[in-house]
Amino acid sequence: MTPALASPTGAFMKRAQGFVLWLIAAAHVLALASLLLVLGSLSPARAETPACDGRNLLDEMKAAKSPVYDQIVAEGRKVPNGKGIFWKIEKDGLTPSYLLGTMHVSDPRVLKMPLGAAEARSKAKTIIIESDEVIDEKRAMAKMLAKPELMMLTDGSTIDSLLSKDDVALLETGLKARGVPLSAVSRMRPWMLMALVSVPACELARKAQNVAFLDRKIAEQATAEGKPVKGLETLEEQAAALNAIPIDLHLKSLIETIKLGKRVDDIFETLTEVYLSGEIGIAMPMLKAVAPDGTEDEAGYGDFENLVVSKRNHIMAERAAPILGQGGAFMAVGALHLPGEEGLVELFRKQGFKVTAVN
């Protein structure tokens, strides 16, 4: 057993592993999925947005002088390009382009963007985001619903038929707390349900009020200014990447997230503050440091990292290259796609660009 699991905080984080994994690997598709569920009236809007009251778990570990905190920080510092969410992309003869790592939420702190990013966006001649389909989310929903196999179990099974009796009871209770009857969503794929249970109530309420998350806001501003917006992936491709993950891992993550209850808010706040600090390299080491022992979970983590992060990094880098090759672009994609040996910063350097952190 790792030192992380010997403390109360570590025991909690062990249970949180599947949830954290979902947030860092599939946040963009989950952002859309939660919107689809809101638009479908499965999670009704409230008159007032509930307060976001999560606590920073890393701060708690630091205050407790946990050796795990020091371990996470040390590992984070080893991650290539792990510090910084705003980068300048240059090549001789081209107007500089910029790369912003985003968090797919509508938190006002995130929407503010780091110093210099708003100016770079306003001066850019082309905007690049993960999927330009988020500009018109109702149209995106209709497009996804036209291919029900992407979001629904189409083999005759239901969520409750795939879970134990105890887990069905947990899921039913968890969904009920969000105002959703299990019978209304029993044929949805588990990752769709994660969109309801892995997002704090305050974030889900903002979506119900049509508050744009950062990527969509950037795209909407560009459209209003008459600038072209280029998407690197389709939402169908993103959903297909999730569907390539074994369903057993989906189900496990769903149930473990239900068990977290209100602590979901704490994890979300922790990741938000990691993002705002620019210390993106900490996120993956944090997850790996608290992962339970055993090869099964390591294999599951590898599936997520390879299919939903690394593989997509290469696709996005390849598709962005000709746009960046024209200069003057502003690119905004999930921050977890930036660091690491197979992150976008390093991949762009291999394409011959000079990439440096702005702040």
Query: For the chain, what are the domain ranges?
Result: 3-357
C-alpha span between 153 and 124 (Å, rounded): 42
Give the model confidence (pLDDT) of 160-211 as tens digits.
999 999 999 999 998 888 878 999 889 999 888 887 787 788 887 787 777 8
Distance CA 43, CA 40 (A): 8
Residue range 197-219, pLDDT digits in tens:
877 888 877 877 778 889 989 99
What pLDDT is stored for residue 140 in this prediction? 77
CB 206 within 8 A of CB 212: no
Residue 110: CB atoms within 10 Å: 18
Q: Which amino acid makes up residue 147?
A: K
* Measured distance CA(331)–CA(182) in Å, rounded: 39
With cut-offs at 50, 70 and 90, classify the pLDDT of residue 99: very high
| 144 has a pLDDT exceeding 50 | yes
Sheet of 97-102: strands edge to edge?
Answer: 229-231, 126-129, 329-334, 97-102, 86-90, 354-357
Average pLDDT of the residues in 112-126: 96
280 to 83, 110, 350: CA distances (angstroms): 6, 14, 21
Mean pLDDT to the nearest integer, 277-281: 93
- Band (pLDDT 50/70/90 cuts) for residue 104 is confident
pLDDT in tens, 70-97: 989 999 999 999 999 999 999 999 999 9
CB 160 within 8 Å of CB 186? yes
Tell me which H or E stretch contains 126: strand 126-129
**What span, in angstroms and rounded, lies between the C-alpha atoms of 289 and 68?**
7
Q: Is the pLDDT of residue 240 over 80?
A: yes
Comparing CA positions, the residue from 150, 151, 136 lying closest to residue 231 is 136
Residue 29: pLDDT band (50, 70, 90) is low
Taken in order 6, 249, 282, 351, the sign of the CA dihedral is positive
User: What pLDDT shows up at residue 307?
Assistant: 63
- Are 27 and 91 contacting, i.e. CB atoms less than 8 angstroms apart? no
Cα four-point dihedral sign 71, 73, 76, 77: negative
User: Is it the case that residue 20 has pLDDT exceeding 60?
Assistant: no
pLDDT grade for 36, boundaries at 50, 70 and 90: low
Q: What is the DSSP pairing of strand 97-102 with strand 126-129?
A: unpaired
Percent of the chain exceeding pLDDT 70 equals 80
The per-residue pLDDT for 291 is 44
Alpha-carbon dihedral 41, 149, 333, 277, rounded to 10 degrees: 60
**C-alpha span between 99 and 150 (Å, rounded):** 30
In this prediction, residues 319-334 reach a mean pLDDT of 97
